[in-house]
């Protein structure tokens, strides 16, 4: 069981931090907490009371106070990230003691073990604000969704943000190919098919190919065309914990794995060519996507059919308008050695991506 006393977040992290501070004299409880720290990949500092060294209490990324030690830390400076840990589910006084020491949470073992492992892993990994996560999906085939997804990722990386581009369409030919990196070393989706529970964000990032200053999770050339939804959930959650920007290129069909990806998005872009058949097809896609994703916006691509403009496409679909996606010449063809979508920093496509990302970061509270 884990209960919340306050909702203040931990200070944002910018890299791997130290392990938590454990305060307890209960040998059995200490054994449990050390086991959970090991499971989270963290090395804790252990004391029987408030550490005597200056800053030991104040600077620890997380403080785990055994219920036996609540009285001994009562006079310590108030800070965020204090968890009071006990075992007695029927002890109503634990909430009073939590308030007295300024704890954020009350946690009872063994029920709260998984929550605590995740929290310890977060602080050990240096987790701050989650990544702005943007999904891009075509209103019809050939709409240019993959091109826009790549351009958004390239633009994000050029702006200095940690960026991960995720290819969620196994039949799309591979975003690594579009970026000219099909032979780049690193893991592809099939390597993560068995992932369950928590995936380390740092380990994920380091295992993936790096292309154009961003990381790419794409498909290999094998027969695997589906990833279990649990693996999609674990991988995207790990990516989000690293902060920065995550861009997901989505297929138009919605299966369980795609639904998991949609559930992790902050905002989606539906790319729609400005022609009547494309708008009709996009309406069906929007209906399916909208069952999972609340913030879906339309990005319109010209040229325009008679009687249509970007605002009319937005009205017909009943979706907010993200803007018009410019068509940029000279997009990447690996054998031609040209630049990837959005690589021309002053080009119209990069400008669209930069302006969209700036707005989205403010609107959804990203980094």
* 281 and 148 co-located in one domain: yes
* 111 and 136 co-located in one domain: no
- For strand 214-217 and strand 210-211, is the pairing parallel, antiparallel, or unpaired? antiparallel
DSSP tag of 206: H
* 91 and 32 co-located in one domain: yes
Structure tokens at 128: 């701050």
CA distance 229 to 193: 9
* 157 and 110 co-located in one domain: no
pLDDT along the chain (367 residues), means of 10: 43 56 97 92 92 88 96 94 93 93 94 89 75 96 93 96 95 88 92 85 91 94 87 92 94 93 96 96 96 95 91 97 82 54 86 95 72
Could you tell me if 130 and 12 are in contact, meaning their C-beta atoms sit under 8 angstroms apart?
A: no
* 139 and 188 co-located in one domain: yes
The strand pairing partners of 107, in sequence order, are 2, 85
Q: What is the pLDDT of residue 332?
A: 43
The strand pairing partners of 82, in sequence order, are 63
The strand pairing partners of 269, in sequence order, are 136, 297
CA distance 150 to 240: 18
The enclosing domain of 254 has a CATH number of: 3.40.50.300
The enclosing domain of 42 has a CATH number of: 3.40.50.2300
Starting at the edge strand that comes first in sequence, how are the strands of the sheet with 245-250 ordered?
A: 210-211, 214-217, 163-167, 245-250, 132-138, 267-273, 296-301, 321-325
* 25 and 160 co-located in one domain: no
Counted domains in the chain: 2
CA distance 175 to 192: 17
* 311 and 198 co-located in one domain: yes
* 205 and 90 co-located in one domain: no
CA distance 252 to 139: 7
* 272 and 170 co-located in one domain: yes
Q: What is the pLDDT of residue 334?
A: 41
Cβ neighbourhood burial of 101 (10 Å; 0-12, 13-18, 19+): buried
* 121 and 160 co-located in one domain: no
* 14 and 113 co-located in one domain: yes
- pTM for the model stands at 0.74
* Structural domain boundaries, residue 273: 132-363
* 121 and 137 co-located in one domain: no
């Amino acid at each position: 069981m884990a209960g919340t006393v306050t909702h203040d977040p931990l200070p944002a992290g910018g890299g791997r931090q130290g392990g938590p501070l454990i305060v307890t004299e209960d040998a059995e409880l200490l054994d449990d907490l050390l086991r959970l720290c090991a499971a989270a990949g963290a090395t804790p500092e252990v004391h029987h009371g408030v550490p005597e060294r200056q800053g030991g209490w104040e600077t620890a990324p997380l403080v785990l106070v055994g219920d036996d030690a609540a009285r001994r830390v009562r006079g310590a400076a108030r800070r965020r990230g204090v968890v009071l840990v006990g075992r007695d589910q029927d002890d109503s006084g634990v909430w009073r003691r939590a308030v007295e020491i300024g704890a954020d949470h009350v946690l009872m073992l063994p029920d709260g073990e998984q929550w605590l492992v995740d929290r310890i892993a977060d602080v050990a990994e240096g987790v701050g604000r989650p990544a702005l996560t943007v999904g891009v999906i075509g209103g019809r085939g050939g709409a240019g969704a993959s091109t826009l997804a790549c351009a958004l990722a390239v633009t994000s990386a050029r702006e200095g943000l940690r960026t991960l581009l995720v290819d969620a369409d196994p039949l799309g030919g591979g975003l690594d190919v579009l970026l000219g990196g099909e032979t780049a070393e690193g893991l592809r989706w099939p390597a993560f098919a068995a992932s369950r529970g928590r995936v380390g964000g740092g380990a994920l990032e380091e295992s993936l190919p790096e292309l154009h200053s961003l990381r790419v999770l794409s498909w290999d050339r094998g027969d695997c065309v589906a990833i279990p939804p649990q693996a999609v959930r674990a991988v995207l959650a790990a990516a989000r914990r690293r902060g920065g920007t995550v861009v997901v290129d989505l297929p138009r069909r919605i299966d369980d794995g795609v639904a998991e990806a949609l559930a992790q998005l902050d905002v989606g872009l539906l790319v729609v060519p400005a022609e009547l058949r494309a708008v009709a097809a996009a309406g069906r896609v929007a209906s399916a996507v909208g069952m999972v994703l609340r913030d879906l916006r339309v990005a319109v691509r010209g040229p325009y059919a008679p009687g249509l403009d970007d605002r009319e496409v937005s009205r017909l679909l009943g979706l907010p308008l993200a803007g018009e996606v410019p068509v940029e010449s000279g997009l990447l063809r690996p054998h031609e050695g040209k630049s990837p979508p959005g690589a021309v920093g002053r080009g119209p496509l990069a400008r669209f991506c930069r302006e969209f990302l700036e707005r989205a970061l403010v609107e959804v509270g990203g980094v």
